[in-house]
Amino acid sequence: MSRITLGILGGGQLGSMLASAAKKLNIKTIIYCDDQDAPAKNFCDEFIHAKYNDKSEIYAFAKKVDLITYEFENIPFVTLNELNKLKSVSPKPSINRLIQHRLAEKDFINKLNIRTTRYVHVTDKKDLEPLGDFLPGILKTTTMGYDGKGQYPIKDVDEISSLNIDFTKEYILEKLVKLKKEISVIITRFGINKYEIYEPIENTHEEQILKHSKIPANISTNLFNQSKEWSIQIAEELKYIGTLCVEFFIDRNENLYVNEIAPRVHNSGHLTINAYNVSQFENHVRAICSLEQISLKKVSNAEMVNIIGNQIIPYRNKIKLNHNQFLFDYLKKDIKEKRKMGHLTTLK
């Protein structure tokens, strides 16, 4: 068989790690990204710098590849849909459209009888005033949010008048959950009832950005099983192909909620590179390219810490690591505050 060429939309660190996994499987990668300095440039075989709505560039990209995936969800639906007419796009554009919209996503999850936070659609400031019942809460843009961007925490009704909210956008207001813990489950679905699932990962956020992830998660057997069951149910219902992440909240009464779904590989799964025989990235490539499904085995417990902003400097100055530590520098050109610059995984 001739060598497969995989097209990846998006050139961030997830794109880099997908390209590295593909390389290991002898698959060629072409990354398409609107940022000329995208870090994945350093890891792929070919790099195309163009806008996501540039029709002629998108068409040229499709001609060069055998199949297409993407590393972040905020790609215009029309682009994914046009591409899907030319070459197979996985996950399917319709899945991305559903999940990239917080309201549609939560409606979908609730229809499966899976618990989410309480939420309500908000399109205008005056919608907010009678919603005291949802406060304290977080107002979130329905689309384009990530790492806490586009979110306004609201404590009480009095605070509403002082908020400066851009109502050219739509929102959902979510009731704040009294969090005990956050976990995530990563699953790679290959076909009907064919999947590989990683054990739940315990996550800690700082300023709404993921900081630490670890396995095993310190949770009850009940929550361990329930989170996996719900993740399988979601992946099956979506007829998903590839790697998917489900983020969960656990409240102080041990109730489990789905927070959100990421139709892609996920930051909390970076530890799978070192802690499992097959990483979330390799599994994604295997599933979308119809390669062999290998049974997952955990090699070690692990902890991952995100290196944010100028925390990368000592690592770039060659800080000494232990034999059980693995550093990933995303090779981003500019160091910016709150920007994920790399991660460090420690096997336990």
Least distance CB 100 / ligand ADP (angstroms)? 10
- 167 touches ligand ADP by CB under 6 A: no
- 199 touches ligand ADP by CB under 6 A: no
Residue 64 in tokens: 């060069």
Three-state DSSP state, 343: strand
H/E run at residue 56: helix 55-64
Using left for φ > 0, alpha for ψ between -120 and 50, and beta otherwise, residue 172 falls in: beta
- 256 touches ligand ADP by CB under 6 A: no
Buried b (16+ CB within 10 A) or exposed e, 238-277: bebbbbbbbbbbbeeeeebbbbbbbbbbbbbbbbbbbbbe
- 141 touches ligand ADP by CB under 6 A: no
Among 16, 20, 117, 188, contact with ligand ADP (rule: CB under 6 A): 117
Least distance CB 141 / ligand ADP (angstroms)? 9
Question: How far is 67 from 289, CA to CA, in rounded Å?
Answer: 8
Residue 63, burial from CB neighbour count under 10 angstroms (0-12, 13-18, 19+): exposed
Map tokens 């794109």 to a residue: 15
Given a contact cutoff of 8 angstroms between Cβ atoms, the answer to whether 17 and 24 are in contact is: no
The dihedral through the CA atoms of 106, 110, 111, 112 has a sign that is: positive
- 100 touches ligand ADP by CB under 6 A: no
Among 145, 263, 269, 342, contact with ligand ADP (rule: CB under 6 A): 145
Among 60, 144, 179, 294, contact with ligand ADP (rule: CB under 6 A): 179
Instruction: Find the part of the chain contacting ligand ADP (CB under 6 A) among 25-33, 108-116, 139-147, 307-315.
Output: 139-147
Nearest to ligand ADP of 54, 153 (CB atom) = 153
Among 81, 141, 208, 301, contact with ligand ADP (rule: CB under 6 A): 208
Task: Report DSSP letters for 96-125, one per residue.
Answer: HHHHTSHHHHHHHHHHTT--B--EEEE-SH
Nearest to ligand ADP of 135, 285 (CB atom) = 135
Among 112, 146, 158, 290, contact with ligand ADP (rule: CB under 6 A): 146
Nearest to ligand ADP of 41, 264 (CB atom) = 264
The binding site for ligand ADP (CB under 6 A) comprises: 117, 138, 145-148, 174, 176-177, 179, 182, 205, 208, 247, 259-260
